[in-house]
Amino acid sequence: MDYGNRAIVTSANLTANALYSNTEIGLLVTERRTASDLATHLDGLASVGVQLDADQLNTLSDVAADAALQSETVTDPTRAEVDKALSRALCARDEHLRQLRAQRTQSMNSLFAQTIRLSLATGPKTTIDIHAFVQAIHPDICDDSIDRVIDGVSFGLRWKHMVRNAQQYLKRQVTIELIYDRWSLL
């Protein structure tokens, strides 16, 4: 197999059992340009993500296990109680990811700018589309419960203002442009 000319797209279940015993689905990409574009996109995702070592991954796994345990130990399993237990576990996960992210030297503006460029690499997008992409990539820092408040007046979600600042930075750098309602890479 030529490195860089092909790609296999599948779940994390690409194991010997998955190949020989289970029913799994995957896709072999043999077109060089598509395989290269896929590798570039995945490298971009990795560059804006939080890199985890084995210990950190185990800690997050423990948080997930605690969430499952909390859901199971609710004495009267109503939906609201299960949702609260899951919410607590997700908050713990997000706090752990924020602590790991704080160890990076990259500023938030730089991180959002890089994520916006990654989003636009697949074509023009509206601000709403960019917000959805950024929030999907960075759920730990795109918290819909935190408003930007100045002198007691709410100006919308704080993370969306940070994304707008990154968009304006990229626009001043002549890296992106807004045509009608869509942002594009230059």
Per-residue confidence band for 4, with pLDDT thresholds at 50, 70 and 90: low
Distance CA 76, CA 84 (A): 13
Per-residue pLDDT, 166: 94
Q: Tell me, what's the pLDDT at 12?
A: 67
The top-scoring range by mean pLDDT among 80-84, 100-104, 145-149 is: 145-149
The mean pLDDT value for 153-167 works out to 88
What's the pLDDT at 177?
95
**151-154 — which CB contacts under 8 Å span 24+ positions?**
none
For residues 93 and 77, which has the higher predicted lDDT (pLDDT)? 93
Is pLDDT above 50 for 1?
Answer: no
User: Would you state the pLDDT for residue 13?
Assistant: 66
CATH class, 108-185 region: mainly alpha
> If you count DSSP H runs as helices and E runs as strands, how many of each does the chain have, helices first?
7, 6
* Residue 105's pLDDT band (cuts 50, 70, 90): low
Mean pLDDT of 101-113: 79
Q: How high is the pLDDT of residue 149?
A: 74
Measured between alpha carbons, how far is 138 from 134 in angstroms, rounded to an integer?
Answer: 6
In the chain, where are the structural domains located? 7-48, 54-102, 108-185
